[in-house]
Structure formats: structure tokens, C-alpha cells
A and B are shown apart, each in its own frame.
Chain A
Amino acid sequence: MTELPGNLRDIVTQLKEPVTASAGFRERVMNAVRATNARRPLAWIVGGLLAAGVALFLLFHPRSDIERPTTFLLLAPHATTVALVGDFNDWDPSATPLQSVGDSAWFVVVSLKPGRYRYSFVVDGQRWMADPTAARAVDHDFGPESSVVTVLSRRT
């Protein structure tokens, strides 16, 4: 608090006032916890169908030069959050979170115009890692290693 001028200390004091959880919050959390084990097999099935659907869509999508849905996948069994950062979102870890499927798979579909993009994954908000299944960028200038995805203007 020593960094704060007096009038800001008043504000911080107000912000430190406790927030009381709404009635039933604990029960909602515990119900969700109990339900999570039962849902795991279903999550894998839904995730598999979703990935297959995206793959088919990408395969048969009509030719055009407009934005194309581009899928990014990462297997990160120990992650609690994964985000996608790249040239297309100003390398902002909060802009493009991946969705988890089951216990280890993460994916997101991003619409990208034709071009070459560098990107990385941010695991648990801290660890930057290149896509292990993609080509590495040799001209990365944003610190950690990154990968490259090329979105074609026409399908061949």
C-alpha cells in the first residue's frame, strides 16, 4: 500500500470488503464436481465427433479467398488452460482460449484470411510452446519459439 496515495488507499479499502457467495454456491460446485466423472466418456465421444465434423468441413469447403476456418489442436494432458497467440490476434493470451475436450485435448477454430501466420500456444497462462505438429517459424521475433500455419487462398 505504500505505493498508493491517500485517496487511492480509500478505494482499495473499499475493494477489500468481502464478497459473500450467493446461496447454494458450494452445492453447485460440489454437484458439478460429482457430475464431472460421469460425463468424461461422453466428452470424448462429443469431442471426437466435433473434430471429425471440422475435418470434413475443411475438406469439402468450397473454394474462395475469404476467411477460412482453421483448426488448432494441442494435446496437453496436464494443462488447466490453453490459449492461442499469433500474428492474427496480436499475440494476446487472453484473446483466443482453446476449449478442452476430455482430459487432454484442446482445440479452437479461428477464421483466417489466406496468408502465412506465426503462432504459439500458451499453457496455463505461463508456458509458451510451439505447436509440436507444425513447422517451426525461423523468423520468430516475439521471444519463445513459434510455429507457422499457411492458409491457402484456393484449395488444390
Chain B
Amino acid sequence: MTPTDGEVIGRVLAGDVAAYAIIVDRYHARFARFATRLLGSQEDAEEALQDAFLRAYRGLGRYQDRERFASWLYRILVNRCRSMQARFARRSRSVPDFESGGRVAADDIRLAGREEAIWLIGQLPLEQREVFLLRFVEDMSYEDIAGLTGLGMSAIKMRVSRGLDRLRELLGGERQ
């Protein structure tokens, strides 16, 4: 029978450090997708995710609600991604050209595949991209997003709405 997160964490805390690999295997695919879509780079995403797994491990002994481990890990990852983005911004790296304003020429968008979808989501400012991904790609409720991000419901809905408007605008630019 597959052990629950709480059971695995109990083993880790009892000294079976190798059991933590079960946690890594269980969550890395889902969380790697979120971080990759958010940061736009698998390399950066894996750095953030590795750091999140490590911070979660360090905090295991203090974390009481073991069966809600996934939510906790998500929260750590979201914050690591934010920190990484802030670092990139200071280095003037990874700032999409589109954030400076303007409109994308129709020829620049070809919604034929994943690469284009990734490019499109990359045109959203980070705060809109984050909630868009959590809401529509990770299928989270607004309540869960509020719990993960520390944002109020109205702020989340506003960011989602603005993100949708922005994407519609980009798509409109393509199809006009």
C-alpha cells in the first residue's frame, strides 16, 4: 500500500532520510511543471524546486500538519520562485520585451503548439502569470490560491481578470 505523506515524513524524522526520495518522486513532476511555466526555464525551475524540497526537509520537524505537506511545499515553491524572479529582475534578466508595452505583430504569434503557449504566458507580468497558472493549469480554487500566495481574494481575482484581458488582447492581435 502506498504510504501517506504523513507516514513517509514520520519515517524521515525517525532517521530514514532515504525515505524522503518518496516525497521527491511523488511531487517533482507536478511542481516542476508549475515552476517551469512560471519561470520560463526548466533549469531555473529545477533550482527553485530543489531549494523548495530542501527547505521543506529542514522544516519537517517543525511542521505539524503532515498530511497537508503538498500545500506547504507548494507555498515554499511559490515563494522560492518569487525570490528567484526578484533576483532576475535586479540583474535585468528574464524580463519579457512585451512588458515594456506595445503590441505584438500578428506574425509573431502562431498558436500551434506548446512553445507558443509558453511564450504567450511569458508575456504576463509575474503576479498575473502566477495566479493564472495556479487557477487554470493547476486547477486550484481561489480559496486555495489565497492560502498559498497570501493574497486576498479580490487581489487574486483582479490579477486573473487582468491576465485574461492581456491574453485576449494578445490573441486578438494575432487574429485581426
Interface residues in B97-156 by Cβ distance below 8 A to A read 111, 113-114, 116-118, 120-121, 126-127, 133, 136-137, 139, 147-150
A16 touches B137 (CB 8 A): yes
Interface string of B27-63 (1 = CB under 8 A from A): 0110011001100001001100010011111110010
* Residue of B56, B118, B148 touching A80 (CB-CB under 8 A): B56
**How far does the Cβ of B122 sit from chain A's closest Cβ, in whole Å?**
11
A interface, size bucket: 35 or more
**How far does the Cβ of B168 sit from chain A's closest Cβ, in whole Å?**
7
Residues in A neighbouring B78, C-beta threshold 8 A: 125
**How far does the Cβ of A16 sit from chain B's closest Cβ, in whole Å?**
6
Q: How far is the CA of A11 from the CA of B80 in the complex (A)?
A: 25
Knowing A8-B171, A19-B42, A81-B83, the reply to whether A36 touches B114 (Cβ < 8 A) is no
* Residue of A14, A29, A95 touching B117 (CB-CB under 8 A): A14
Q: How far is the CA of A3 from the CA of B165 in the complex (A)?
A: 12
**How far does the Cβ of B148 sit from chain A's closest Cβ, in whole Å?**
8
Q: How far is the CA of A34 from the CA of B148 in the complex (A)?
A: 28
A32 touches B42 (CB 8 A): no
**How far does the Cβ of A39 sit from chain B's closest Cβ, in whole Å?**
10
A124 touches B133 (CB 8 A): no
- Judge if B167 is at the interface, Cβ distance under 8 Å: yes
**How far does the Cβ of B90 sit from chain A's closest Cβ, in whole Å?**
9
* Residue of A18, A25, A34, A83 touching B33 (CB-CB under 8 A): A18
B137 touches A29 (CB 8 A): no
Name B's interface SS: helix
- Judge if A73 is at the interface, Cβ distance under 8 Å: no
Knowing A1-B136, A94-B86, the reply to whether A21 touches B37 (Cβ < 8 A) is no
Residues in A neighbouring B113, C-beta threshold 8 A: 14
- Judge if A148 is at the interface, Cβ distance under 8 Å: no
Residues in A neighbouring B158, C-beta threshold 8 A: none
Interface string of B2-30 (1 = CB under 8 A from A): 00000000000000011011001100110
Knowing A4-B136, A8-B168, A36-B54, the reply to whether A124 touches B79 (Cβ < 8 A) is yes
**Pairs A–B under 8 Å by Cβ, sample size 5:** A11-B167, A33-B53, A81-B83, A96-B86, A125-B79
Interface residues of chain A, those whose CB is within 8 Å of chain B, are 1, 3-5, 7-8, 10-12, 14-22, 25-26, 28-30, 32-34, 36, 77-78, 80-81, 83, 93-97, 103, 122, 124-127
Interface residues of chain B, those whose CB is within 8 Å of chain A, are 17-18, 20-21, 24-25, 28-29, 32-33, 36-37, 42, 45-46, 50, 53-59, 62, 72, 75-76, 78-80, 82-83, 85-86, 111, 113-114, 116-118, 120-121, 126-127, 133, 136-137, 139, 147-150, 160, 164, 167-168, 171
